[in-house]
Chain A
Amino acid sequence: MTREMTGAKMIVQALKDQGVDTVFGYPGGAVLPIYDEIFLQNDIRHILVRHEQGAVHAAEGYARSTGKPGVVLVTSGPGATNAVTGLTDALLDSIPLVVLTGQVPTFMIGSDAFQEADTVGITRPCTKHNWLVKDTEKLAATIHEGFHVATSGRPGPVLIDVPKDVQFATGEYQPPKPTASHYQPLVKGDMEEITELVAAIEKAERPVFYTGGGVINSGPAASQLLRELVEATGFPITSTLMGLGAYPASGKNWLGMLGMHGLYEANMAMHDCDLMINIGARFDDRITGRIDAFSPNSTKAHIDIDPSSINKVIRVDIPIVGDVAHVLEDILKVWKSRGRKTNAEALANWQGQISEWRAISCLSYTGSETTIKPQYALQRLEALTKDRNRYITTEVGQHQMWAAQYLNFEDPNRWMTSGGLGTMGYGVPASIGAQVAHPDALVINVAGEASWLMNMQEMGTATQYRLPVKQFILNNERLGMVRQWQELLHGERYSHSWSEALPDFVKLAEAFGAKGIICKDPADLDDAIMEMLDYDGPVIFDCLVEKHENCFPMIPSGKAHNEMLLGEAETQGVIQSGGAVLV
């Protein structure tokens, strides 16, 4: 086979050689040569989205649900700028993406040409790395490097900007070379630190595992090893929003999610522990609350592949730079070789304390016969779907937190949510990306009506590709999370936190060629959910829920873990002005 080819053909060839089966994209003048090449082949499937932001979130859903990098192709100028929110989202949540953008021809760069934007300049702070390729000879190698960078170390989005003349010109195709890159983050942890952690594990009286998205990033082996370590030591385990599913929710050591809207027992365990073992989490401010009151009496270990995550927010005693799976393997090896010791007696007391906290039942809420409580809707959704091959995506807001609290995740890569950036509009396209990757699975987007509207155009994509995504909208006719903060922090002045003109979601579904279901009576809920599940095609489910429900537990901004609010009665005047400054 001749290695001489056009840049456009090289791009398609490089994607094939990287094992890409799906590209999410949207055409335009600056990428037409690439679209021509896509037209001429059948190995790579192109999913035409309705908005470039949708392409990037769909690629994120694809990536998070498969563990493979997501691939996006968009045009120059507005195509590229529309991708910026998705890139930032992927950067904050460490999602591997390769985004290809068209650019005006090299000889026109800098002339304010039609649809010219300084794409590498605009996306420099929101990508892990990016490149402008000015020479066709370098194009293939750059794409291979892009995949390497996106997926190695701490994963993230990369962008490759390709001027149109570079797509037309010919050059020699370079196949992938495994050792070509100088970028080789270390994956093995330091054995002395690991041994020190094992010694701490042996002595710990009140230990807790605090796990995060890094376990998911590290791959299925990491989750397996984590399960082994947790079962073997008997230590309780909590996880961030991003790490749900790494350890099964049905596991006996599971405390539930921690953090601002995490479970009482998880946050209390974090606050009172004497050994905190952070595995692939980054001490986000949703977790730590007030820094100077964060877990004041614990020895802290932190396993993270990115040295900059360590000591960024919280000072730790045992830092271990490395990949979760590699480090856990070594921890297990050392711990076993030293005789599998734990402080059993103290652990039993600790478990007893945790049971007392658990007995508070922090997720209980006041039920209703007449209106659907959002928590109830999710409990029913859980009950009716838990045995299925299920993937969940969410939008951003109260519904997202309730989904994290009331749905149970037994495996990694089953839960796709925008954590770091908190991007409303993430869920619809992410559900499409997950469904494209898993055509036979049940994919549900748990949404709030306001977020859902932000990228609802992607329902067109769902119908075009016969993707049976289920859009489960908890419709409170409010920007619920904003309303909750206004209630608690701004004297119940509900400034612009509701939509006065919501669409008729059933008609909207029909307009898109999907099925619409509306439900407002708790008595009808199960049947309505079953109707959604039984329908072989995309569904928009308009679930009319209680309008002024608040999401609890809640650690108010600027408060410590042991100062959680558990319900309405406790909210009076608790948040001081210092906390109101924080987001």
Chain B
Amino acid sequence: MSALHIKKGSTKHSAYNLRPNFSDVQERHTITVLVENEPGVLARVIGLFAGRGYNIDSLTVAEVDHTGHLSRITVVTTGTPQVIEQIKAQLGRIVPVHEVTDLTVAGPFVERELAIVKVVGEDDKRVEAMRLADIFRAKVVDTTLNSFIFEITGTPDKIDAFADLMRPLGLTKIARTGVAALLRGE
């Protein structure tokens, strides 16, 4: 499937890339949206997904350009190619949206998520948790005599794997930031 890298209003690539090549396969796409940081802009994006029945697997947002008042929203979504194309086109219509980039198409890209994980346990389990954390390069950011909080960054898959391993060792709580992502190269 081809990219619909909608630089606001531009159809430079889009006319060709609007050419359909649609299948029913569900695809996972990481899309970044550069938006004017005005009140309610996140509600617009979320409202679009809710109102039109699109999936949000993960969503992060933060101001990235303080002078230009621009924020970057990174949203991970799944859908058929046709739905993904619609999502991008619909995002592009939102007035304060400056740019929509489908990293999955434009790639390769780097994707990272941060999680903090609380693991409660004693004796062997505690030792094993530490050992595994080391392998995953998770840091201990808080500890008591019978608990740790680990901080881990990586792809969502890596964090899933870490959480799966920690579960039998006493994982009680996990907080994840959602994905931040950027294209590689210039």
Residues of A within 8 A of B (CB): 120-121, 124-125, 128-129, 132, 149, 153-154, 182-186, 189-190, 192-193, 306-308, 310-312, 315-317, 319-322
Q: Are A190 and B15 in contact (CB under 8 A)?
A: yes
B82 part of interface (Cβ distance < 8 Å): yes
Q: Are A124 and B47 in contact (CB under 8 A)?
A: yes
Stretch at the interface among B90-98, B110-118, B167-175: B90-98
Which residues of chain A are near B36, meaning CB under 8 Å?
A: 182
Residues B55-96 near A (CB distance < 8 A):
82, 85-86, 89-90, 92-96
B126 part of interface (Cβ distance < 8 Å): no
If A308-B89, A321-B14, A321-B15 touch, does A129 touch B95 (CB 8 Å cutoff)? yes
Which residues of chain B are near A124, meaning CB under 8 Å?
A: 40, 43-44, 47
Q: Are A307 and B4 in contact (CB under 8 A)?
A: yes
Which residues of chain B are near A317, meaning CB under 8 Å?
A: 19
If A183-B9, A315-B22 touch, does A128 touch B40 (CB 8 Å cutoff)? no
Give B82's nearest chain A residue, CB to CB: A311
Q: Are A310 and B89 in contact (CB under 8 A)?
A: yes
A316 to B15, CA, bound (A): 11
A310 to B89, CA, bound (A): 9
Residues of B within 8 A of A (CB): 4, 6, 8-11, 14-16, 18-20, 22, 36, 39-40, 43-44, 47, 51, 82, 85-86, 89-90, 92-96, 98
Q: Are B10 and A186 in contact (CB under 8 A)?
A: yes
A528 to B186, CA, bound (A): 75
Tell me which of A128, A184, A190 contacts B9 (CB under 8 A): A184
Q: Are A321 and B39 in contact (CB under 8 A)?
A: no
Q: Are A316 and B8 in contact (CB under 8 A)?
A: no
8 closest pairs, A vs B, by CB? A308-B89, A190-B15, A129-B95, A315-B20, A319-B18, A321-B11, A185-B9, A307-B89
A315 to B11, CA, bound (A): 18
Which residues of chain A are near B16, meaning CB under 8 Å?
A: 190, 192-193
Q: Are B8 and A182 in contact (CB under 8 A)?
A: yes
**12 interchain pairs (CB within 8 A)?**
A121-B40, A124-B47, A132-B39, A186-B9, A306-B89, A306-B93, A307-B6, A308-B89, A308-B90, A311-B86, A315-B82, A316-B20
Give A194's nearest chain B residue, CB to CB: B15
A321 to B85, CA, bound (A): 15
A322 to B15, CA, bound (A): 10
A311 to B47, CA, bound (A): 22
A183 to B6, CA, bound (A): 13
